[in-house]
A and B are shown apart, each in its own frame.
Chain A
Amino acid sequence: MTLAATELEFRTVIGLEVHAQVLTQSKMFCSCSAEYASAPPNTHVCQVCMGLPGALPVINRSAIESVIRTGLALGCTIPPYCKLDRKNYFYPDLPKGYQVSQYDLPLCVDGQLTFTSEGVEKTAGITRVHIEEDTGRLLHRDEGGASVSLVDLNRSGVPLMEIVGEPDLTSPVEARDYLIALRQILRYIGASTGNMEEGAFRCDANISTRTADGSIVGEKVEIKNMNSFRAVERALIYEEERQRKLLAAGESIPQETRGWVDARGVTVSQRTKESAHDYRYFPEPDLPPLTIEASFVDSVQAALPELPAARKARFIESFGLGASDAELLTLERETADYFEVAVGSTTDRARQISNWLLNDVFGLQRERGLPFDAFPIEAQQLNQIVELVEAGDLTGSGAKSLLAGIEPGENARAVAERLNLLAVGDSDVIRAAALETLTANPAAVADYKGGKKAAIGRLMGDTIRATGGRGRPDTVRAILEELLSE
């Protein structure tokens, strides 16, 4: 029986598995540096992470703490007891022939992630968060006509956490927004850089399709090789459509693993259920089980920073910011911290500081090619500049010049004075500039006198420009009105 796709009402079920590198100084089981990306191949290695005979692992407490912090940020329960297991398989980037991971007793269980998708707040369950070690990397090269594979073990043993989500997501766009929210939290709590390009944040997706009435249910398909949020969304859109077409055509969907081929925009079959690995998990005998003290969990909980959603809500509530501005200010913890330092005790200045930060400070940051967490001026200086603007001592254009010219440690007013940027209230100077402007703009003068009062805007702009951008707007307006009424 073949049905047109439009005759069936389909539901999509998506669950995501995220692998995030845990941000630590050293690797998970040895003291080698975990900073592998920039190092020459096989320079951050030792007997432990190379899997040399006789070497034994020693667990990195800081990695365990970061995973627990992640679990707590996701509302998970931290069981008092957990263990590590060996996951056995052969691959040249896996030096021991097994990966130390967690099988049935993970560090964190039963959490949830609340996120916004297309303006609607959603909550998806988090099944578990567990710790494991990363593998090395293979580099495939052509050397003298022969293709060779080289192994770089710098990444081997870098701590990794797997965050397994419940199949609570119902569309590709939801999946993307879930990932964005999850990555934001990991960055907020300092548990991971979340850098997808560097592979510090990787996602596999499980997607299945069924009809709304449950009469047709397709098997779960796992999608791999998605290297950006966009790729995740595109792959799931493709897969959703592929599965719907198959079901509509009366075909079944086999349980399998498929890979996303970004360049072609398709998923291709990699492995069927029958050929799935038997990983032969068993408890890692080289590491005793971990007992997680409740007092330790409490101390990690107490040290959790305010999470992005709560912070955004507070910015709206306490500072009277609009939702989209609050969203932008809380995207990164560093930005939100900077903003709060800039506001300090001058809460009534918060909206102006927000405007200047989002427009001009960010603009300058981009212009200078600075990273997101490096600000072109100090937070206190931003407050001082906004204060000068509010007091009328600095015009908008003066403030922009000051932003660009101020150096770290300098006082905004002192720099404005030195650079001759302070607003001019001297009516003689402004009167001369205003007369000059009126003479040069007879048409605008005529408009104004003919009743088009808005024409004063253009005259004001020209007058201020004639003062080198320093004429106080209120004085300029008063003098222009006085002259035009003569």
Chain B
Amino acid sequence: MSVGSELTGLTIAQARDLLDAKEFSAVELTQAHLERIERLEPALKCHIEITPDVALAQATAADRAIGDGDQSPLTGIPTSLKDVLCTVDSHTTAGSQILKGYRSAYDATVVSKLRSAGAVFVGKGNTDEFAMGSSTENSSFFPTHNPWDIDRVPGGSSGGPAAAVAAAEAMFGLGSDTGGSIRQPAGFCGVVGLKPTYGRVSRFGLIAFASSLDQIGPFTRTVEDAAIVLEAIAGHDSKDSTSSPRDVPSFRGSLRTDLKGVRIGVAEEYSVSGMEAGVETAVANAIEQLALLGAEIVPVSLPHTRYALSTYYITAPAEASANLARFDGVRFGHSVDAPTIKEMYERTRGEGFGSEVKRRIMLGTYALSSGYYDAYYVKAQKVRTLIKQDFDRAFEQVDVIVAPTSPTTAFRIGDRIDDPYQMYLADVFTIPANMAGIPGISVPGGFSNDMPVGLQFLGQSFDEATLLAVAHAYEQSQPWVTMTPALQ
């Protein structure tokens, strides 16, 4: 096989076989991606930092490992890391001016795992500032553009790595999902995005947005690739007390192509007013397709879903208001000299944080304030329990739940940036999974107005195996995975 642009169109599984067969080298694979990045980045801006030197050094090492027969499933595979993951050999900014130029003294656990698996880091993917947003427009550096239509957003907050995978700048990406920040951009960009169960993947080295909700997961072009990446990054980490000690099964081994005996739930609550008609049609078609594959479609009720968005916007900002307190200009990052410590804090944070981050810090501070704590924070935790109980009850009847990933396809850049509530609504179907801690995946589910529609599956805690198996069966029965954006 000749070295060319077709190298960037492969899945991880395909590239693995060809790398191991020495059809091409990891350096050639990496160079093909770096060339594509160079060509596409001016229009797409998926990355805050591109790291060709790091990538080529890793690719060279990967070729050596392959030569020694010492490879793992990700050896030599180019990847884009959302810039909230700490890396020692590039900057880590969380999309914020307050961390501009910051270098982490240590690698996140997922980054260490990918390093030892031999993955190749092509760059740090763009993100809404501190992962707060649904469009990547809140990045304090620049917005990322959707590869299917560069006038549209890629979704967010992990819009950078989502768009990078859609545009084949990387074979997979890692994002973080606090309220839908993997699944929603995956849906907008027509790729696979998986939010694992809370506790499945270590959060150590992930710059925290909301600690009880954050979870790291992959962007890939296929469900099989998502299974491969999840196997590489999952597992207990002694540095994260909330990571689960459960064994990590072979997710790839449980993939299947039919759905006989599988019960799939459909919840009426996953339909809201203002939904895009094409999205509703795509989801209805998908449900039909699932039935054709042998699944039993079961109506389920998740009555507290409608409170998820509002309780999320209490819980997540509350935790964020504390998590972001460390950005004070004392030890690292942006710092403004001032006559008093109070002024130093105010000016450092006033200049360093963008308006959405400030809005959420204020929301969270208010929700935790004396006199309001019980009415907001405590109440939200109670509702959170109810949302989880909804899912527990539903999963007594079904194995997975199918739903749209987002009410609409990707919107135009600038359309919602001045209306935070409309922006928040983009996550209305993804937030409940974070509140309940359960895993969710978005897979390409067709098109509406020429833009990809995301189809979401939600699974039981720590049963990513079933989730991936169902998503894979659906994906394999559809043409969407073969369709790619027409980029020059």
Contacts and interface: CB of A to CB of B under 8 A. Distances in A.
Interface of A: 47, 50-59, 86, 88, 90, 92, 95-98, 149, 151, 278, 280-282, 285-288
Contacts of B377: 282
Given A96-B325, A282-B322, A54 B104 contact: yes
B239 A53 contact: no
Interface string B396-423: 0000000000000000000000000000
A97 B345 CA distance: 11
Contact of A54 (B206, B241, B327): B206
28 contacts: A47-B106, A51-B331, A52-B104, A53-B92, A53-B94, A54-B86, A54-B106, A54-B204, A54-B205, A54-B207, A55-B204, A55-B205, A56-B239, A56-B241, A90-B345, A92-B330, A97-B322, A97-B324, A98-B325, A278-B370, A280-B370, A282-B318, A282-B319, A282-B373, A285-B242, A285-B319, A286-B211, A286-B241
Given A52-B331, A53-B332, A282-B318, 15 more contacts: A53-B94, A53-B208, A54-B104, A56-B242, A57-B241, A58-B238, A88-B368, A92-B330, A92-B341, A95-B330, A96-B326, A97-B322, A97-B328, A282-B373, A287-B241
A88 B322 contact: yes
User: Interface on chain A toward B: helix, strand, loop, or mixed SS?
Assistant: loop
B325 A90 contact: yes
Contacts of A96: 322, 325-326
Interface string B194-216: 00000000011111101110000
Contacts, number: 103
Contacts of A47: 105-106
Nearest to A278: B370
Interface string B68-80: 0000000000000
Contact of A278 (B238, B331, B369): B369
For chain B, give the interface size range: 35 or more
B268 interface: no
Contacts of B203: 56
B368 A97 contact: no
Interface in B103-156: 104-106, 108
Nearest to B213: A285
A98 B323 CA distance: 9
A11 B92 CA distance: 60
B182 to A, nearest CB: 18
Nearest to A89: B325
A286 B328 contact: no
Nearest to A98: B322
- The residue in A97, A278, A280 that gathers the most chain B C-beta atoms within 10 A of its C-beta is A280
A67 B186 CA distance: 48
Contacts of A95: 326, 330-331
Interface string B345-369: 1000000000000000000010011
A90 B345 CA distance: 9
Contacts of B311: none
A129 B377 CA distance: 26
A371 to B, nearest CB: 37
Nearest to B210: A285
Identify the 9 closest CB pairs spanning chains A and B, nearest first. A97-B325, A285-B211, A280-B368, A285-B212, A54-B205, A53-B207, A54-B86, A51-B326, A278-B370
